[in-house]
Structure 1
Amino acid sequence: MSLSIHANMDVHSSINVPLPPPYNTKILQILTLTFPSNGGSITINIINITHNQIAQKGFSSIENKPQLWQQHHDGAEKDPVFTHISNQNAVISDSAIDGIGNEKEIRDGLNTRVLPKRKGKQSWLKMMGKCDIFDGKWVKDDSSPLYQPGSCPLMDESFNCYQNGRPDNGYEKFKWQPNHCNIPRLDGAKILKFLKGKRIVYVGDSLNRNMWESMVCLLRNSVKNKSRVFEASGKSEFKKEGTYSFLFTDYNFSAEYIRSAFLVQEWEMPINNGSKKETLRLDMVEKSYDSYKDADVLVFNTGNWWTHEKTSQGKGYYQEGNHVHEKLDVVEAFDKAMATWARWIEANIDPSKTRVFFRGYSFSHFSKGEWNSGGRCDSKEPIKDEKDLLSLGELSPPIPQMLDKAMERVKTSVFYLNVTKMTNYRRDAHPSIYRKPNMTQEEKHVFQTQQDCSHWCLPGVPDTWNQLLFAQLLLSDKQRQSKQKRYGKTGTLVD
């Protein structure tokens, strides 16, 4: 037997639960509550409801947050059973997903425990293994963000839009929802447990720094003693070239960032009169690569620097061996560089030890000009209709297509975090003019004419990139465990 109720959040709703007849205690009774939430709906299954003493169950909306409650037949009321459904281990559909990817059922009972989901329904892991997690949409989510705005002193001030005076916060209240599966809510405490004793390294341009700082803030938020998280060399400014590492000493874990905008080596070629000419070695990986090839997780990116403007129009800039190309198109140069990167991955990475990710192209949203010609990004709402997204065909060079082609050629197991489409929607989430606190009038004028429409506010979009990264790590870990159970550590099939 199951009972269900469908009600609006603005109405206090309940259902009467009759005194149960004698029944087999092994047979569960289920109450399903479904209510609209931010353009969608949330369904909660409450199991084992027919205790003799319970007369009524329901939910009410307090400050736009749903709360479950119950009343006993003797009139005693227990209110609420638990609060903030949307915050209770990421309630999605008819089950909850905790921070390490285990599906849960919210069951009524002593202390209102959240217990492992019963077998019979397809798990999120199986669903995600067959699902394109990058095909989806942004939906409103009042349980976001994952850490409080302004609460993380470790991020660059240029990403701290809240502290820099941005007055609206709607851009923080979205989550990415794949069309055909669910992904677990990112739980910093569970991630730290999962990554204990490990090393994760982000390699790339400043957008990967954006992602790295997001992960550091997500994890730091779950550490009780914040002083136990610090940058290894005491640095607090991360824009210059170099290597940066945040240590989480209670977990023997490090989250690192290495700036490498092109992934191949920026170089200086000697020319006449003892002077040197800046070039880009398409045949040589960046010099720091050997320092992190044994990391547990590697997250690479490049793309946004591969423009004609930042590569001297391809004139006398690209180098292979001792030869500097007089003129080389950026598409061909990028192809050569990615082939060099792929060869290094195949020759140096042990896929049984290291998981390699490549984070795809992140959209910029300059309107009425470019970054150096008065371009703006002052929208407070994301793009809602897919037909209004920026056309990939308008990008010059076509970086997303260049990345897609490069990823197809990589033979070693590299997971492509293809965030291009999801970032295309989010014109609302860039720092824009909010790049520095307590700006002078002169700085305000400069930032009005040179807005940042490429990077992302934190909390914000890069938190979702890390959520997808972690979901994929969980999936691959579960698949590896399943394979070991089936075949054993020797690779022999186990009966």
Structure 2
Amino acid sequence: MGRGQQMSMYDVEKSIPGGGLRSMTKRRVVVVALVSFFLPFVITSTYLYYTTPDAATEAMLFLQRRPFSGFSPSLTDDTNASSIINDTTGSETNTTDSLDAKQEEVDAEDTDPEAIELDPSETNSSANETSAALESSLQEQAKNSTSEILPLLTMGLSNTTNSTKKEACDLVKGSWVPDSRPPQYTNSTCGFIQGHQNCMKNGRKDRGFLHWKWKPDQCELPRIDPPSFLTAMRDRSMAFAGDSIARNQFQSLLCVLSQVEQPDHTYNAPDDRDNVWVFRKHNFTLAIYWSPYLVHVEDKEITFSSDNQTRTVAFIHVDRLDKAWVDRIPGVDILQLSTGQWWFKRGLFLQEGKPLGGHICDGWAECEKEIGFADPYRTTIRTILRGSLSIPGYSGTTILRTFAPEHFEGGSWNNGGQCVRTAPGGVPVSSLTKWMYDIQMEEFLNVTSATSGSEKDRIKVLDITNLAQIRADGHPNSFMRFQPFAKEFTQKIQNDCLHWCLPGPIDTWNDLLVESLRDAVYKQ
């Protein structure tokens, strides 16, 4: 047919008497029949698709592209599907790139070749016997499990947890259960995620690790409600002091709160180790101070007779608080302290200015006696808890955050260890983790039992070791660096099984922190 002579099927049907009506009626019947037949399947599959913890990537792309309610439009992402990883070519529109270069230098110290170097004498027989029984039990549980998902596993590392002030619900005893909710923020809606913790931007494809929540046995653990938290903390302040894991948790809280108000960066130390942010509308100050030992440390250059090499060694004064945070907390309302993996490094310990002995005394004259780090660490926990009560100008609440476990499997951080799990469970607690945890809890109870009155209420413990141990799926692993083709990426890089992806399981630490401090946070 020539131009202008073409007819549509609709025109053909109209040309037949009654044909158009009969055809339209037939089509309606067919459509109704098809819809009726397939609708139940569509509804069922859609429900399962969005409520399964291992939700498909496409669904998460959609969820993560959406800015959360109340978030500043100026930081919303575009509608491109790649927004979930914030332009994997490496350019970002947030503040991360301006900080990463300095922070990488800081974080490199957490994975120093000596960072987890242990002397064989450290693991004494009593610690080994206790941990061996526990590890054997947990390994048997993992072996008998039908999969690596152990959402009902409860570690119960210490019976001392319940000796603290009784609450209506024990938040520590519980399990990880599936959660269909999206995270409270994404790397598209938060500009404070460091490069090595920005797992999605760096190419991590699985999203199941974002769909678990901690469920206490007798109650629910609510998420932080940013508007009510900021309102409750109006004209007040909160500070974290510790190492890069403390900063990891600090940035998680910053991300959650920034969904309702963008804070001003009021202080940034030249080495980026200390940072202060202020939420102007609520006059709420949130700060992080670098102090990996929490007590006074002098770094000294020591020449080793064994190889004539000069190395930096920490001289650690276990009875002197670190002025890096002490001088900055007068007037602070809530202070969280934490110290852990740095104690595994080589060091010399001093008390009243006199050497007690050292850890890893192998060829340096200053270290005359090998004593390991356990006793000095115990003394330090006692020092920071007691000492925080008598800091001039500080009358706030001190929280000791318990030891954060690492999850290297198949080796250590520097010899092939990795953390490739995509669901909770499967990694038994190590003797070292239990040892550090027990020291913290024992000293916390010793200090609080010897303290009376209002001062006793000023010291609390945030017990995250149990719930963190189960989440071996929450670390960056190889995605601490940008990997444009994830599965096809073959370049050998160092894995990170110590820090945590943001968003990720570490967000729960802050939920637990706020709920545990409900009386202090939401006081009238």
> TM-score scaled to structure 2, two decimals?
0.59
What are the superposed Cα offsets for residues 347-399 of structure 1, whole Å, 9 maximum, x if unpaired? 22788x5122111111111001011211010111111xxxx55134x227821
Alignment of 1:82-97 (within 5 A): none
What are the superposed Cα offsets for residues 125-150 of structure 1, whole Å, 9 maximum, x if unpaired? xx992221011111111113111243
In the alignment, structure 2 segments of 5+ residues that lack a partner are 1-38, 53-67, 70-164, 304-310, 358-367, 449-455
CA distance 1:277–1:214, change in 2 (3 Å): closer
- Mapped partners of 2:465, 2:392: distance in 1: 26
What SS does structure 2 have at the residue aligned with 1:184? coil
Kindly indicate whether residue 198 of structure 2 is the aligned counterpart of residue 160 of structure 1: yes
The residue that corresponds to 1:169 in the other structure is 207
**One-letter amino acid of the counterpart of residue 206, structure 1:** S
What are the superposed Cα offsets for residues 404-462 of structure 1, whole Å, 9 maximum, x if unpaired? 11211223332211111101110111010111335799xx767x452000110001122
Distance apart, 1:321 and its partner CA: 3.1
The residue that corresponds to 2:319 in the other structure is 283
**One-letter amino acid of the counterpart of residue 204, structure 2:** R
CA distance 1:398–1:440, change in 2 (3 Å): same
Distance apart, 1:290 and its partner CA: 2.3
Distance apart, 1:261 and its partner CA: 0.8
- Mapped partners of 2:213, 2:174: distance in 1: 10
CA distance 1:143–1:281, change in 2 (3 Å): same
**One-letter amino acid of the counterpart of residue 396, structure 2:** T
The residue that corresponds to 2:462 in the other structure is 417
Kindly indicate whether residue 284 of structure 2 is the aligned counterpart of residue 247 of structure 1: no
Is contact 1:318–1:328 with CA below 8 Å preserved after alignment?
no
- Mapped partners of 2:47, 2:205: distance in 1: 27
- Mapped partners of 1:277, 1:172: distance in 2: 39
Q: Could you tell me which of 438, 447, 450 is aligned with 2:494?
A: 450
Is contact 1:11–1:61 with CA below 8 Å preserved after alignment?
no
What are the superposed Cα offsets for residues 193-242 of structure 1, whole Å, 9 maximum, x if unpaired? 1112111100111111000000000000122xx4xx2322367x9xx563
CA distance 1:440–1:286, change in 2 (3 Å): farther
What are the superposed Cα offsets for residues 70-107 of structure 1, whole Å, 9 maximum, x if unpaired? xxxxxxxxxxxxxxxxx99xxxxxxxxxxxxxxxxxxx
**One-letter amino acid of the counterpart of residue 355, structure 1:** T
Kindly indicate whether residue 419 of structure 2 is the aligned counterpart of residue 377 of structure 1: yes
- Mapped partners of 1:214, 1:404: distance in 2: 25
What SS does structure 1 have at the residue aligned with 2:342? coil
Q: Could you tell me which of 340, 351, 360 is aligned with 2:383?
A: 340
**One-letter amino acid of the counterpart of residue 417, structure 1:** L
Sequence identity, in percent? 25
| More RCO (CA 8 Å, sep 6+) | 2
Is contact 1:184–1:471 with CA below 8 Å preserved after alignment?
yes
Alignment of 1:152-231 (within 5 A): 152-223=190-261, 226=262, 229-231=263-265
CA distance 1:188–1:321, change in 2 (3 Å): same
What are the superposed Cα offsets for residues 292-337 of structure 1, whole Å, 9 maximum, x if unpaired? 1320110111122221xx134xxxx112233223332211111121
Q: Could you tell me which of 427, 430, 437 is aligned with 2:475?
A: 430
What SS does structure 2 have at the residue aligned with 1:391? coil
What SS does structure 2 have at the residue aligned with 1:361? coil
Structure with the larger helix share: 2
The residue that corresponds to 1:28 in the other structure is none
The residue that corresponds to 2:346 in the other structure is 311
> TM-score scaled to structure 1, two decimals?
0.63
Q: Could you tell me which of 319, 326, 332 is aligned with 1:295?
A: 332
**One-letter amino acid of the counterpart of residue 207, structure 2:** N
The residue that corresponds to 2:503 in the other structure is 459
What SS does structure 1 have at the residue aligned with 2:264? strand
Is contact 2:427–2:472 with CA below 8 Å preserved after alignment?
no
Alignment of 1:93-172 (within 5 A): 129-172=167-210
The residue that corresponds to 2:512 in the other structure is 468
What are the superposed Cα offsets for residues 248-296 of structure 1, whole Å, 9 maximum, x if unpaired? 1222111110011111111146999xx9964111121111212113201
Q: Could you tell me which of 411, 435, 451 is aligned with 1:398?
A: 435
Is contact 1:204–1:301 with CA below 8 Å preserved after alignment?
yes
What SS does structure 2 have at the residue aligned with 1:406? helix
- Mapped partners of 1:397, 1:136: distance in 2: 18
Structure with the larger strand share: 1
In the alignment, structure 1 segments of 5+ residues that lack a partner are 1-9, 13-35, 37-59, 67-86, 89-126, 482-495
What are the superposed Cα offsets for residues 465-492 of structure 1, whole Å, 9 maximum, x if unpaired? 11111112224456x65xxxxxxxxxxx
Q: Return the index of the structure with the highest Cα Rg.
A: 2
Kindly indicate whether residue 372 of structure 2 is the aligned counterpart of residue 329 of structure 1: yes
Is contact 2:403–2:433 with CA below 8 Å preserved after alignment?
no
Is contact 2:514–2:521 with CA below 8 Å preserved after alignment?
no
Two-structure CA RMSD over aligned residues (Å): 3.4
Q: Could you tell me which of 227, 233, 239 is aligned with 2:267?
A: 233
Distance apart, 1:346 and its partner CA: 2.5
CA distance 1:277–1:429, change in 2 (3 Å): closer
CA distance 1:406–1:149, change in 2 (3 Å): same
